[in-house]
Structure 1
Amino acid sequence: MPDGGTRRLSAILGSQSLALLLVLFVLVAFFSLMRPDAFPRIANILNMATDASILLVLAVGGTYVILTGGIDLSINGVLVFSGVIAAHAMVWTGGDNPPTLLVGLVFAMLAGAAWGAVNGFLIAKARIPALIVTLGTMGMSLGSALLITRGIDISDVPDSLVVGIGSGRLMGVPVLVIVTAVIVIA
């Protein structure tokens, strides 16, 4: 009969997490060998971390839905819609200061909460399957965002949002990565 340490080691070696870690290691090694001049550089690693940070925040939210046995296909559409509403609110408010960014954040959260309330009502009260509801609200939120923007990028958001948060760094680490780490840890 194996002792506790052996059982733990067997569980770790047979776990899906270790398999994913090994796949990640193989991918990093492969691309590092293919492009040693570009891939294993700190700048590239920080860029990949920045790109992944928004998806990781969405995954944290989706984790709670999945843990409760649900499914939410609308998360990407709600993200886009909330971003459009936030951008329009910041442009409407004007200025490049913290209150303008706060207005955008509040409007984004309200927009996301409104779609969440629609999903929640239709799933819990109307008893429509979550797959159907969230598929529908994904299309509605993406379509609404497209109608609001008329398919044109919103380019006059405050520079402090783009420069300070989008591409800003704190002690060399991208701000988005720091914000994501705080959200994941919290």
Structure 2
Amino acid sequence: MTGTSDRQTGSLYEFASVTRFLQQDAASPDTLALRASLLSLSSQLEQATQTRREHHPIDSIERQAASLARQARQHQLQLTGMDSAWHGLYEFGAYQQAVLTLRKALEHWRQSLRQRSASEPQDFAEFERLAWRTLGEALLVLDLYEQQSGGRPASIPPSMPPVAARPTLLGRLRAWMGL
């Protein structure tokens, strides 16, 4: 990807937007830990990609990427330890796979940085694409979990009309971003 494409991607979407959105949303107790971990991951993603886009020295970019790698590993460990209600979602497994794929792409990009490889811009673009995909998967999993757990409480008889559903997380994100 060229430098122009990097700037266009950065000007159209920012990881900070996702971070701000996650901070604004009222989290249910079941999603607080995952949201906190996602906020940290999103913040690290933003710092690493911004450092790279601003063409800082390679050592500085590598430090940010190393910090991101630690955060991604911690996030993946947290996912592994989540309760069975999360693991029961098909999409949760897909999200775990997306995090693993992101970590591999991050390592590939870091290796390109260390070797000062000519393929570094392409490796960075692939990493950034996967980072967006991973955050999208995270938002989907949060939304689906909230829909699943936010259904009718057991104490309400089936004959009563359902309570109006609140807008989905993905719908609120689209509205917030103006999409």
TM-score with structure 2 setting the length: 0.27
Flag the structure with larger Rg: 1
TM-score under structure 1 length normalisation: 0.27
| Greater RCO (Cα-Cα under 8 Å, separation 6 or more) | 1
